[in-house]
Structure 1
Amino acid sequence: MKHPQSAARRRVLLAGAGLALAPLVLAATPGEQGVRASRALMGTQVDIAARGTDAALLRAASDAAFERMAALVAVMSHYSATSEVAAIGLASGLQPVAVAPELLQVLHMAQGVSRQSGGAFDATIGSLGRWQFDPQDPRMPAPEAIRARLGAVDWRQLVLDDQAGTAYLKRRGMRLDLGGIAKLYILQAGLETLRAHGVRTALVNGGGDVVAMSERGARPWRVGIRDPRVPQRLLATLDVREGFVASSGDYERFFVRGGRRWHHVLDPRTGEPTQGPHGVTLVGRELQAVNGLGAAAMVLGAREGRALVERTRGVEGLIAGADGELWASASLRARLS
């Protein structure tokens, strides 16, 4: 369904394929303190913004949140040879691997969005081999290597045993890549750590994925939505009190070769970057509803991605198509400034 809109409104909404924090004035009331902190995690910058009356508590809580997130990255990163994700790949076709409960939970989320999207999201995309999207040193598997390994991309070959606490890839040579689903879970874990330390109003932002909470009566957090073609330019804002704002797009990690943009959202059907929408923004209160859904919509394309978002309860969405066409769910369009 297309929504009529003015040309000016259309230009503003076309920002909606990526996210960045708009400038924040952290002190909302007299006597309230604001703390911001940033660290490099998951190949991006992770920012914490927190408000409260005790600055020392806010700083200590932020440090604890970063420690918690870093510990989960060590478990779930497919770049680390010592992670549990790497261990699952090394044991593929041989035996199940005991994994942390947090990783088991993320793997269940991955299977859920794979079923929901008909395989458009597939965490076994790591079986294709290592891509590197640093424009200074871009690397990609050879086309013949992609073709040879494409048969190993099959989410149904991942077996999870909750009672034993294990994960198993049934085919030898399979690998996992949780880049499309682990980050938002890790950011939420950071927010929950802040909550456990007594913080009630905070926002965690990592590379355009945002999770927020607000104490009753606190003013909302303002999240800026940016243009996927001019990422430094904010074109719209969204007020968020609780929940998630998740982005997927072809503008965050990419290189250009042969006149084509090669970006990090891979299509499990081809083994190559998607060629559909430029970006997808999703808003929801529940992690399981939004997690991985944006990458699936990128794979499915604008029309089918739109249908996926529309049939997912509790999710608002915006899709910027490759042809310049824009679609936004009515409820989200009404919230954008």
Structure 2
Amino acid sequence: MRFKTLLPAQSSLHPIDHRRRALVRGAASVPLLATAMFVRPALADPSVTRASRRLLGTRVDIVVQDSCHAAAQAAMSAAFAEMARLERLMSRYRPDSQVNALQRAAGRHALHVAPELMAVLQAAAAVSARSRGAFDITVGAFAGWRFGADGNRLPDAAELARERPLVDYRQVRLDARRGTAMLARPGMRLDLGGIAKLPILDAGMQVLRRHGLANAMINGGGDVLAMGQLQGRDWRIGLRDPLAPARLQGVLQVRDAVVASSGDYERCFVSGGRRYHHVLDPATGLPSAGPHGITLVAPTVAAVNGLGAALMVAGQAAWARLAGGSAGIDGLIVGDGGRWMSAGMAQRLRQA
């Protein structure tokens, strides 16, 4: 899902005006519950600084509050640099990334990988095991799909059948002691889209902390990390309704928290009267038939990383097994049958 970062609670703007403007501003951003920021009145405060960059296939926004503008700018520049470094390691779209090096060596030999990539691969293995394969980074083998600006493509059944044997998270061999990884079968490919973004954003937040900042927010393509507060109030995150994207279904107020999202309504196309979206079921290579959108709130990235994508495939029935027993995780699941939310999310969510 995608999010709106809304105005501080004490804003003098009329809430209807602010919601309408925020939705218009966020219309072109990606992916599911909007990544636009709407903090203009707060930015009139000289202690509030904002910057945006194109990273991770989306727009990443940082907003910080600090009395020293120059120090805030330096911290944000350092955070963007660190996130860009990690993207270069993990992007499947960069020929010089370690992910592509692993793919070129698939079925032949292991490679030494950076500690940051090893941590992401280990996290993926854990989520895959917990979700019984509903989450699987080797889904990248279904390479024939195309969604978006470079055109749409629907692979045929024979193509998916050829690629399906290459999808098996258990064939990603990790040796943490040696710092090596290997894809066991030739032709295997990785897609870290559901597991790498949150750690990369978190690395940016750690840079801000090391620069002495106490109040900051990073918003990247529907995933929001909030530290401290903005102008003495909790950060306000508006949740766009995946069943009616022109409206907000509620507002979350958070501090020192992660709001993570997954959804199916933006990267999609219609072919032969059927709608296809980018969240693929590893078992079939076809778009998942589960919920349309998932929102998770937790105190740490590690608590929710990969769970949204897993729940998109496994569905609401898997909530208790995947997240229900974990302290501090709240969830909202939106599907054709309506909306379900955990007791904690019901307490968090407010009317827009």
SS of residue in 1 equivalent to 2:83: helix
Match of 2:38 among 2, 7, 23: 23
Equivalent runs, 1:291-330 vs 2, <5 Å = 291-305=305-319, 307-323=321-337, 325-330=338-343
Equivalent runs, 1:141-180 vs 2, <5 Å = 141-180=155-194
Give yes or no for contact 1:146–1:271 (8 Å, CA) kept in 2.
yes
Q: What is residue 267 of structure 1 aligned with on the other side?
A: 281
SS of residue in 2 equivalent to 1:265: coil
1:91 matched to 2:102: no
1:72 matched to 2:90: no
Question: 2-side partners of 1:275 and 1:66: how far apart?
Answer: 36
Question: 2-side partners of 1:96 and 1:26: how far apart?
Answer: 52
1:100 matched to 2:111: no
Q: What is residue 10 of structure 1 aligned with on the other side?
A: none
Q: What is residue 347 of structure 2 aligned with on the other side?
A: 334
Give yes or no for contact 1:184–1:209 (8 Å, CA) kept in 2.
yes
Equivalent runs, 1:75-224 vs 2, <5 Å = 75-134=89-148, 137-214=151-228, 218-224=232-238
Question: 1-side partners of 2:53 and 2:37: how far apart?
Answer: 18
Give the CA deviation at 1:312. Answer: 3.1
Flag structure 2 segments of 5+ consecutive residues without an equivalent.
1-31
Indicate the RMSD between aligned Cα atoms, in angstroms.
2.1
SS of residue in 1 equivalent to 2:94: coil
Percent of counterpart pairs with the same letter?
Answer: 49
Question: 1-side partners of 2:42 and 2:231: how far apart?
Answer: 14
Q: What is residue 27 of structure 2 aligned with on the other side?
A: none
1:38 matched to 2:52: yes
Q: Deviations 1:65-95 (Å, cap 9, x if unpaired)?
A: 1111111111001111111001111111100
2:214 maps to amino acid: R
SS of residue in 1 equivalent to 2:116: helix
TM-score of the superposed pair, with normalisation by structure 2:
0.85
Q: What is residue 252 of structure 1 aligned with on the other side?
A: 266
Equivalent runs, 1:2-21 vs 2, <5 Å = 18-20=33-35
SS of residue in 1 equivalent to 2:152: coil
Give the CA deviation at 1:311. Answer: 2.8
Give yes or no for contact 1:297–1:306 (8 Å, CA) kept in 2.
no
Give yes or no for contact 1:18–1:280 (8 Å, CA) kept in 2.
no
Question: 1-side partners of 2:321 and 2:163: how far apart?
Answer: 30
Question: 1-side partners of 2:335 and 2:195: how far apart?
Answer: 22
Flag structure 1 segments of 5+ consecutive residues without an equivalent.
1-16
